[in-house]
Amino acid sequence: MAGKSFVLDTSALMAFIEKEEGAERVRDILLSKSIIIPWLSILETVYISQRELGEEEALTRYALLKKLNAKIIWNADEALLLNAARIKSTHSLSLADSVIAAITTQHHAILLHKDPEYIPLQDILDMEILPYKNKK
């Protein structure tokens, strides 16, 4: 696990931005590891922020994400498409999570998240799970 990159799911980005439990771990990884952010994680972060806090805050968060020392995956190639389709067809995941999982496997990376939807994928990809939010 030592030299692997980390793929940040939307839930990890939101934990960091909103200072949720696990934010310190995300910060430590951002400062010390190679980071990959799928464009879908950025899209989800921006639309959630816009819906909850307005367009100005959403654009501020988008600018913050673009300034991180991270490789942003903006495109999908055929191998990624077919891998995401395989994952989506065999697991109950959203389309975005299927693509993020495929990016993780394609880059032989570790998925950083706090989304229980990924748990069934523990047999096909490395992951680090942040503390889940307490349900109110």
In a domain, 135, yes or no: no
In a domain, 136, yes or no: no
In a domain, 1, yes or no: no
Q: Give 17-35 pLDDT, tens digit per residue.
A: 999 999 999 999 999 999 9
- Looking at residue 3, what is its pLDDT? 78
In a domain, 82, yes or no: yes
What integer is the mean pLDDT of 53-74? 96
- Count up the domains in the chain and report the number: 1
pLDDT band at 116 (very low <50, low <70, confident <90, very high): very high
In a domain, 72, yes or no: yes
Q: How far apart are CA 101 and CA 96, in angstroms?
A: 9
Give the Å distances, CA to CA, from 117 to 13, 32, 74, 93, 103.
16, 27, 23, 6, 16
Q: Which of 9, 1, 7 is nearest to 115 (CA)?
A: 9
Q: Which domain holds residue 41?
A: 6-129
Q: Which of 128, 82, 122 is nearest to 102 (CA)?
A: 82
In a domain, 134, yes or no: no
The type of residue at 36 is I
Q: Residue 132: CB partners within 8 Å, gap ≥ 6? A: 114, 116
CATH number of the domain bearing residue 21: 3.40.50.1010
